[in-house]
Structure 1
Amino acid sequence: MDRAINVVGFLADSTPLLERYVGFWLAYLIPCCAMWIALIPILVGRTFFVRTSPTENIMPQVCDVLRYGIAGRFKMDAAKPDAQLRQHGRQVPWTDLFVEDIKRSLLTCRVLLLFPIHWLCYNQTFNNLISQAGQMITYGIPNDMMKIAGAISGIIVAPIIQKGLYPFLTKRGVSFGPIARMSVGFLVLTLSMAYTTVVQKLIYRAGPCYDIPLTCAAANNSTIPNQISVFLQIPIYFGGALAEVFCLTTGTEYAYNQAPESMKTLVQAIWLAMAGIGACLALAFTPLTKDPHLVTMYAILTGLLGGATILLWALFRQLDKSKAKDGVE
């Protein structure tokens, strides 16, 4: 799955070349055709897919359980049918198992609450790093094409980690559970953000425009960038690819595997919502997303992600230990 996404990302990131040397019409036409082609196996093979009929909407009951649990001094057992009947004379339509499923889902979602900071930093590859590349010598490569380094890195590192590193550690009895994997991913992305800070500082130290790239008179109407190579960005995208394998892949698996059967859709929705929250957090950094404040912005992001890395490991590492005792990877 990850390799397929990275292969598609590689092809998608090549469209800036089509835009530069042919035109926007071809750059948009190819993705449009690709989307229609992708529909063919879905339509042709629809009879071979497992199609589960939708069940009733559990959200009203989930909200009621949470409300009763909060009213019971934040104890979810207070929402169980016998407790509600005994303390309030109230008949409720759910069972003890339903409340236990919600408790388990909440425990799973605790781990996911730090991911908005991860997404905040990871999403820099889709916006500010493109602008950063535009301030550097690109050797005729469109600055928004540098993202292709991330796709190439993903194609290379994903099979090495998933087919090489993980089996190697398993054979030698080394426990490398989901919390450990996600913590490593957070750490790698933290180092990538620190490196990004250094690269931005180097840009500001290079002429001709120093800390106001492309805007001084020496830039010749924004045609002469600061004299520093765009290929210094490659380690940033390589680190992002590593973080994607360790964090995002593991996070998706963790959210699905740890959620009770009746709550899988809900927990997956919460997991995806973390990306949206991360995008919203980016709005707070808008005043810093301009020269000469970019070094400060990247440094703050590095600090935030570093703190989130420490919290993730400190608060949840025992979950890996408990699963190891139960024989669960």
Structure 2
Amino acid sequence: MTQAASADALPLATREEYNEGNAEHRQLRRIRGKLPWLLFAVCVLEFGERFVYIGLSGPLQNYIQIPYPHNSNNVPGALGRGQATGAALGNFFKFWAYLCTVFGAIVADQYLGKFKTIVYSVPIYVIGMVILVATSTPMSITSGAAMGGLIATMILVGLGTGGLKSCIAPLSAEQNTSFTSYIKTLKSGERVIVDSQLTNASIFMWYYWAANVGSLSSLITTSVEKAHSFWVAYLIPLVVFLMSLGFFLAFSKKMTTSPPQGSAVVDAVRTTAIAIRERGFDNAKPSALTARGRLGEHTFARSNERYTDTYVSDIRSGVGACKYFVLFPMYFVVWIQGFSNLVAQAGSMRLDGTPNDLMQSLETIFMLAFIPLLDMVIYPFLSKRGIHLNPILRIFMGFICAALGMMYCCVLQYFIYKSEPESIQVWVQTPAWVLMALSEIWVIITGLEVAFLKAPQSLRAFVTSMFWLTVAFGAAIGIGLSPVSEDPYMVWVYGGIAVAAFLSGATFYLWFRNDIANGIDGAPSGGLSALTGVEVGKGAVHGVGEDDKNASKVNVASSKATFVA
């Protein structure tokens, strides 16, 4: 592994340095640079991790809810604990897995670094999956060992997920070593700005695209579960994960990563505590403390060489990123419905041989289509016409799509109750998955990039884990809803979640609507804002590859758009 290059790295001699103060430069159109080829290796690992996690989660509701070997609708099962217990255990699994991202981030940022944290998390993950394969055989199910094996698997896979999810996304972005924006001349003779921020934004898009390719594993596991058995369905993702790990390790020595920063997380907490006592991060800067004669009041500020004005600003930026995530738990209440209650809803509809838990794969399929469509067609088309969707608007749009998806499920559930059993075709559920796919693109990908852009280099994994922690909070809310997550209450469950998601989205927009005008400012000194010379939230537009001839010219001085999706 190589350490991340200095933020002060200069453009290559063959490139013209970009000067934002130059009026001529500001009139040039912006494009993204070439994506780093090592991103592919990191994305393969993310593909493998999601292949296992979603491959496990896909059949989980049936595994817990339906008795062995199947119910009257020929839906396979194992434990026979009912819909409410299935939803509760599924939510617990997600809560635990995403809570563990915090532990993984602390280990990565303070002790091991991202790469070693990933490597040490893998054996824990693999042992959990081996236990699940062994205890989901017909002999284990009938002997009563399946429940204990499932709980052990949830705990171990959750620990492994925590180490992987907190590190893979920031590691993928760190492969972009072209830190500064620069000007180049295309073969056509046109001079353009190659914007590192746009490159990084596209990295997150394609990172998440790879994750969703891995999520297609539920198509395989749900089909194998129905056609053969649960243990074979769970064995396949384990084998794929090990293969993806081997590919990742083969290129690991060439990857770039930032080293662990010792007590980075603890120091950040201490700095935040000083800011609280001094009523603001500006007042917590050593220059301000010295001017007011209060530097001696804080041992950490007085004795630590790291504690500078720039460091305090970086911590403020990282903490500031977390404010955008406050309402995300309500979004993830919607998101987790796709793994539990929507699967159960599909099971009550006319299947005609379609596995009910296969339906959740529709969301993945739609995302695989929407991500390149948005990145390469729709966003450049809008940008060419002066329409630049701010990340605040994107997140708001994601919440609204989530609310509409749940309202659709509410209406559909009403008609299921009013109709003859298993009379409504399962594919009628499709519009809900379309809306949830769009919401996931606009909420989750945006959140991941905001976390990376706002975090100081020493805390990238930790701030990313704060984003993933909102999944745990959403799952906790889902656990609270579990007692009523069964017939005949599902109309009220879907309707209530829809209203809550809408209100959360509206509140998010009202709280942060000023950022539409001002941008998401305050990127840390180690973030892309400083590295590219472009203030985060200002001047970046949706773009496509270097060879695109149709991207629009943008006046950077007046544009406030940011490519965060």
Q: Quote the Cα distance in structure 2 between the aligned partners of 1:68 and 1:43.
A: 41
TM-fit CA distance, 1:135: 1.2
- Tell me the amino acid that sits aligned with residue 5 of structure 1: A
Q: Deviations over 1:6-35 (max 9, x none)?
A: 222223322221122222342122112101
Contact 2:260 2:458 in 1 (8 A): no
Q: Deviations over 1:199-251 (max 9, x none)?
A: 111111112xxxxxxxxxxxxxxxxx432121111111111111111111111
Match of 1:184 in 2: 397
Match of 2:468 in 1: 272
Match of 1:75 in 2: 280
Residues 149, 326 of structure 1: CA spacing in aligned structure 2 closer, same or farther, 3 A cutoff?
Answer: closer
Q: Deviations over 1:38-80 (max 9, x none)?
A: 12212221222124322212222222222222233x4233433
Q: Is 1:196 equivalent to 2:409 in the alignment?
A: yes
Contact 1:101 1:262 in 2 (8 A): no
- Tell me the amino acid that sits aligned with residue 269 of structure 1: S
Match among 347, 352, 360 for residue 134 of structure 1 = 347
Match of 2:447 in 1: 251
Q: Quote the Cα distance in structure 2 between the aligned partners of 1:288 and 1:196.
A: 16
- Once superposed, what is the RMSD of the aligned Cα atoms? 1.9
TM-fit CA distance, 1:146: 1.1
Match of 2:160 in 1: none
Q: Deviations over 1:63-104 (max 9, x none)?
A: 2222222233x4233433355551363342212222212222
Please state whether the residue corresponding to 1:56 is helix, strand or coil.
coil
Matches within 5 A, 1:277-316: 277-316=473-512
Contact 1:288 1:296 in 2 (8 A): no
Q: Quote the Cα distance in structure 1 between the aligned partners of 2:349 and 2:362.
A: 16
Please state whether the residue corresponding to 1:290 is helix, strand or coil.
coil
Please state whether the residue corresponding to 2:513 is helix, strand or coil.
helix
Contact 2:261 2:458 in 1 (8 A): no
Contact 2:398 2:439 in 1 (8 A): yes
Contact 1:12 1:31 in 2 (8 A): no
Per mean C-alpha deviation after superposition, the further-off stretch among 87-96 and 116-125 is 87-96
Q: Is 1:322 equivalent to 2:527 in the alignment?
A: no
Contact 2:331 2:501 in 1 (8 A): yes
Match of 2:333 in 1: 120
**Percent identical residues:** 29
Matches within 5 A, 1:1-329: 1-72=207-278, 74-84=279-289, 86-87=293-294, 89-90=296-297, 91=299, 92=301, 93=304, 94-207=307-420, 225-323=421-519, 326-328=538-540, 329=562
Q: Quote the Cα distance in structure 2 between the aligned partners of 1:98 and 1:52.
A: 17
Q: Quote the Cα distance in structure 2 between the aligned partners of 1:272 and 1:173.
A: 33
TM value normalised by structure 2: 0.53
Contact 1:190 1:305 in 2 (8 A): yes
Superposed structure 1 runs of 4+ greater than 6 Å apart: none
Please state whether the residue corresponding to 1:138 is helix, strand or coil.
coil
Residues 321, 261 of structure 1: CA spacing in aligned structure 2 closer, same or farther, 3 A cutoff?
Answer: farther
TM-fit CA distance, 1:325: 8.2
- Tell me the amino acid that sits aligned with residue 539 of structure 2: G
Count of equivalent residues: 311
Contact 2:265 2:459 in 1 (8 A): no
Contact 1:192 1:236 in 2 (8 A): yes
Q: Quote the Cα distance in structure 1 between the aligned partners of 2:271 and 2:414.
A: 51
Q: Quote the Cα distance in structure 1 between the aligned partners of 2:317 and 2:498.
A: 32
- Tell me the amino acid that sits aligned with residue 194 of structure 1: M
Residues 199, 30 of structure 1: CA spacing in aligned structure 2 closer, same or farther, 3 A cutoff?
Answer: same
Contact 2:218 2:358 in 1 (8 A): no
Match of 1:214 in 2: none
- Tell me the amino acid that sits aligned with residue 132 of structure 1: Q
Unaligned runs of 5+ in 1: 208-224
Q: Deviations over 1:242-276 (max 9, x none)?
A: 11111111111121112233432321121111111
Q: Quote the Cα distance in structure 2 between the aligned partners of 1:69 and 1:250.
A: 28
Per mean C-alpha deviation after superposition, the further-off stretch among 246-255 and 191-200 is 246-255
